[in-house]
Amino acid sequence: MNQSPLKDKFGRVHDYLRISLIERCNLRCTYCMPEEGIVLRDKSEFMRPEEIIEMAKTFVSLGVTKIRLTGGEPLFRKGADLVIRELGKLPVELTMTTNGVLIERYIDILKSAGIKSINISLDSLSRDRFEQITRRDQFDRVIENIALLKKGGFEVKVNVVLMKGVNDDEIIDLIEWGEREDLSIRFIEFMPFDGNQWNSEKKVTEHEILDIVNVHYPDKNLQQLPIGKNATARKYQIEGKRQHFGIISTISNPFCDSCNRIRLTADGKIKNCLFSQSETDLLTTMRKGGDITEQIVDTIIGKRRSRGGYDAFDDATVEKMENRSMVTIGG
């Protein structure tokens, strides 16, 4: 097949691939990892490094121009260094989302692969609250590694999953911290996945965030910045501040019309939407010597218009949803 773009029946071109390197993680974030953990499967069920690289090359041949590595925790994966180096040779923008715990071991590898931007997950500036959310005591290490990335010249975006009654009282503190440390803060709406005890009362909407900001800065103009092509975050600039902040409101104000994302799970299955109930098994086809190209194209063509076919995410709908836990999909 020639290098035609991956286009669905709604005209959306898919050129952004998110590859989960591993289902496991060294943190246990409540919104991502079920309290009871996940079933640990044999390593033979997951993509080997050479298979990840081969699949990535196929996606690039179909028009993918950006690849993000996710997990679980991608740097927790044995052989992550090999994958990063090899993907860095492809004609794509390579980046990563990580919890930051292991960053100091990989700084040189990330640089050598041409990675310039890193997303760090950090949901609180309180050490105690961080431990409550992640069920691990790694706050100081994450903060130190964020500083290390900044010192190394990386652009750092901090992803904050907001949960009402948990960390929504830190919105202003996080914005001010981002201003001091020259970090882009992105508030992400709490999303429903298997085992994360989601309900509608826990989400913090874009409207609520903006109300909090406007009340705190009554004399400052709050401006929405132009929305970039395929952007997930709506960006806002507070008058007089150098840094903007972003809001990703997948549930209450989704960005499906411009979605260009494809997800490849650690066990080699493609999901054309974060909330899709169907998956296409590329790994089995590859191991049998088959051509995965047709599977990829057909999966993209079959993408639903919005959020995997769900028109709304009320409590009753979510209770009946069938999807993986977030840690087994990839962020």
Average pLDDT for residues 44-67, to the nearest whole number?
98
- Which superfamily, per CATH, for 6-329? Aldolase class I (3.20.20.70)
Considering the chain, what percentage of its residues have pLDDT values greater than 70? 98
- pLDDT tens-digit series, residues 290-305: 999 999 999 999 999 9
Q: Write a three-state SS string for the chain.
A: CCCCCEECCCCCEECEEEEECCCCCCCCCCCCCCCCCCCCCCHHHCCCHHHHHHHHHHHHHCCCCEEEEECCCHHHCCCHHHHHHHHCCCCCEEEEEECCCCHHHCHHHHHHCCCCEEEEECCCCCHHHHHHHHCCCCHHHHHHHHHHHHHCCCEEEEEEEECCCCCHHHHHHHHHHHHHHCCEEEEEECCCCCCCCCCHHHCCCHHHHHHHHHHHCCCCCEEECCCCCCCCCEEEEECCCCCEEEEECCCCCCCHHHCCEEEECCCCEEECCCCCCCCEEHHHHHHCCCCCHHHHHHHHHCCCCCHHHCCCCCHHHHHHCCCCCHHHHCC
* The pLDDT value given to residue 198: 85
Q: What is the rounded average pLDDT of the residues 66-86?
A: 97
The residue type of 182 is: D
CA distance 302 to 271: 11
326 confidence band (pLDDT: 50, 70, 90)? confident
**Rounded to an integer, what distance in angstroms lies between the CA atom of residue 47 and that of residue 62?**
20
**Residues 96 and 68: beta-carbon distance below 8 Å:** yes
Q: In this model, does residue 1 exceed pLDDT 70? A: no
In this predicted structure, what is the pLDDT of residue 197? 84
Name the residue among 189, 196, 188, 107 with its Cα closest to residue 153: 107
User: What is the four-CA torsion angle of 136, 81, 22, 269, rounded to 10 degrees?
Assistant: 160
Per-residue pLDDT tens over the stretch 132-184:
999 999 999 999 999 999 999 999 999 999 999 999 999 999 999 999 999 99
Report whether the peptide linkage leading into residue 246 is cis, meaning its omega lies within 30 degrees of zero.
no
Mean pLDDT across the stretch 57-78? 97
How much is the average pLDDT of 80-94?
A: 98
pLDDT at residue 318, as a whole number: 66
Residue-averaged pLDDT of the chain: 93
d(CA 188, CA 162): 6
Distance (Å, whole) CA 133 – CA 149: 23
pLDDT tens-digit readout, 25-46: 999 999 999 888 888 899 999 9
pLDDT tens digits, 232-271? 999 999 999 999 999 999 888 888 999 999 999 999 999 9
- Quick check: 2 pLDDT over 50? no
Residue listed under structure tokens 């929305």: 227
CA distance 240 to 197: 39
- Mean pLDDT for 265-289 is 95
CA distance 195 to 165: 19
